[in-house]
Chain A
């Protein structure tokens, strides 16, 4: 199976487009000649079942799907990576498969925070996480949202540093609130869900361990 990176000259055409809604990031050719694209989309629909499967594949504890639906609906920007046939509309094409996600909450003007950055382990180590985060950041910067932040697991800090994120810039510390002894109703009795646990929503575990 051969992996073609879409040449930069052709990617630049998409990056310079007004809205960055859809970018073909990669093309894969299987040994039988079938071609698949990995496509980044911003603002497209997200199948909650597919997302739940992706989150499970990257090793995250399950979250109440009602909450996930609300969180996606109230995210300022949601980017997906889908593995699909070059002509997804044609009747012979296999259905697209969700292989990556990142979302950002924001006030739309000053600050944004990236959450839930995940790439299917089958397709990690191919630069897709990098492309996903870069595309999201670029889209936010285009909207003049200059303070783009995130929380990263320890083993992913080098991944984000390489993309231009700095930990504790000017000594500013990211902090999490932990309930003092009283359970927060997180919408379910799931163990640990009612409490604030960063690994459930951080950008970390969805990326390859090697960063």
Chain B
């Protein structure tokens, strides 16, 4: 490696710690961060588009394992109470409106693209979309349970997803509600259900990027802009590169 004739004056601090070479411990935890398989905390199979691995009973007594609920070791009342904390409108409320939340059923990508187009998001290449969803930790969408003036039976009416490292952070993306079904709380309902799933897994940092028009909606749900001055940034590619 050729050195240049004019070397910069040293600005580096002396590498004190490095030069005192301590013997390394022979046993250490190694982490190979290649693309992982899902880590299951329970014996349940990991479904695509599912809520993710089930959390065991948490320290505040909230049990999310159905088998434990049935056996009575978890507290059904506590679980219901916890759900009520986060969900402003229940599944039953939406069921009466002919709406159901789908977690494990894959959304129809043509319908999803139609929805995106209607709300002003770019349409996506279907193969890329499928790959993105398969790499998404939680996906939830709203299905019309009956035919109406505003929907075909089974039609996808709203959507949201969250990526995550499954332990420390999660980011919510692509929250969309079809125009005819807006203003009844579906966007909020989707995000609340994602929050419920993520918090039940103990993920402490949950973020999203909000367009100016919906910042107020997310603030009402408990999201905060620029906490302690921490800002969201996005890489801007230069044109013509």
Interface contact B33-A95, CB-CB below 8 Å: no
Chain B residues whose CB sits within 8 angstroms of the CB of A169 once the complex forms: 233-234, 236
**Does B119 sit at the interface, judged by CB under 8 A?**
no
B112 CB → nearest A CB, Å: 13
Q: Closest A residue to B232 by CB, please name it.
A: A174
Knowing A63-B168, A165-B235, the reply to whether A108 touches B229 (Cβ < 8 A) is no
Which of B4, B58, B164, B208 is in CB contact (< 8 Å) with A185?
Answer: B58
Knowing A6-B1, A166-B236, the reply to whether A108 touches B131 (Cβ < 8 A) is yes
**Does A135 sit at the interface, judged by CB under 8 A?**
no
**Does A186 sit at the interface, judged by CB under 8 A?**
yes
Interface contact B17-A198, CB-CB below 8 Å: no
For chain B, residues 209 to 241, give those with C-beta under 8 angstroms from any C-beta of chain A: 209-212, 215, 218-219, 221-238
Interface contact A67-B29, CB-CB below 8 Å: no
Interface contact B202-A186, CB-CB below 8 Å: yes
B231 CB → nearest A CB, Å: 5
Main secondary structure of the interface of A (DSSP, over half): mixed
**Does B150 sit at the interface, judged by CB under 8 A?**
no
Knowing A7-B4, A198-B205, the reply to whether A73 touches B225 (Cβ < 8 A) is no
B130 CB → nearest A CB, Å: 9
Knowing A36-B15, A36-B18, A65-B29, the reply to whether A75 touches B232 (Cβ < 8 A) is no
Q: How far is the CA of A83 from the CA of B18 in the complex (A)?
A: 9
Which of B18, B24, B131, B233 is in CB contact (< 8 Å) with A151?
Answer: B233
B194 CB → nearest A CB, Å: 10
Q: How far is the CA of A18 from the CA of B110 in the complex (A)?
A: 33
B131 CB → nearest A CB, Å: 5
Q: How far is the CA of A163 from the CA of B236 in the complex (A)?
A: 9
**Does B60 sit at the interface, judged by CB under 8 A?**
yes
For chain A, residues 73 to 116, give those with C-beta under 8 angstroms from any C-beta of chain B: 73-76, 78, 83, 94-95, 97, 103, 105-111, 113, 115
Interface contact B202-A73, CB-CB below 8 Å: no
Q: How far is the CA of A175 from the CA of B211 in the complex (A)?
A: 10
Chain A residues whose CB sits within 8 angstroms of the CB of B32 once the complex forms: 45-46, 73
**Category for how many chain B residues contact A:** 35 or more
**Does A15 sit at the interface, judged by CB under 8 A?**
no
Number of interface residues of A (CB under 8 A): 100
Chain B residues whose CB sits within 8 angstroms of the CB of A173 once the complex forms: 209-210, 212, 215, 225-226, 232
Chain B residues whose CB sits within 8 angstroms of the CB of A129 once the complex forms: none
**Does B45 sit at the interface, judged by CB under 8 A?**
no
Interface contact A189-B8, CB-CB below 8 Å: no
Interface contact B205-A200, CB-CB below 8 Å: yes
A89 CB → nearest B CB, Å: 15
Interface contact B215-A175, CB-CB below 8 Å: yes
Which of A45, A164, A194 is in CB contact (< 8 Å) with B31?
Answer: A45
Chain B residues whose CB sits within 8 angstroms of the CB of A185 once the complex forms: 55, 58-60, 62, 202
**Does B207 sit at the interface, judged by CB under 8 A?**
yes
Q: Closest A residue to B215 by CB, please name it.
A: A173
B203 CB → nearest A CB, Å: 8
**Does A152 sit at the interface, judged by CB under 8 A?**
yes
Q: Closest A residue to B58 by CB, please name it.
A: A185
Most buried by B among A63, A74, A126, A169: A74
Chain A residues whose CB sits within 8 angstroms of the CB of B35 once the complex forms: 76
Interface contact A172-B209, CB-CB below 8 Å: yes
Q: Closest A residue to B3 by CB, please name it.
A: A4
For chain A, residues 181 to 210, give those with C-beta under 8 angstroms from any C-beta of chain B: 182-187, 189, 193-202, 204
11 further A-B contacts with Cβ under 8 Å, apart from A165-B233, A175-B210, are: A1-B15, A46-B31, A72-B33, A95-B24, A105-B171, A107-B173, A154-B231, A172-B209, A185-B59, A186-B202, A195-B204
Give B residues with C-beta under 8 Å from A: 1-4, 7-8, 10-19, 21, 24-25, 28-36, 39, 55, 58-60, 62, 82, 85, 124, 128-129, 131-133, 135-136, 163-169, 171, 173, 195, 199, 202-212, 215, 218-219, 221-238
Q: List 5 A-B contacts (CB under 8 A).
A: A45-B33, A107-B132, A109-B128, A150-B233, A151-B231
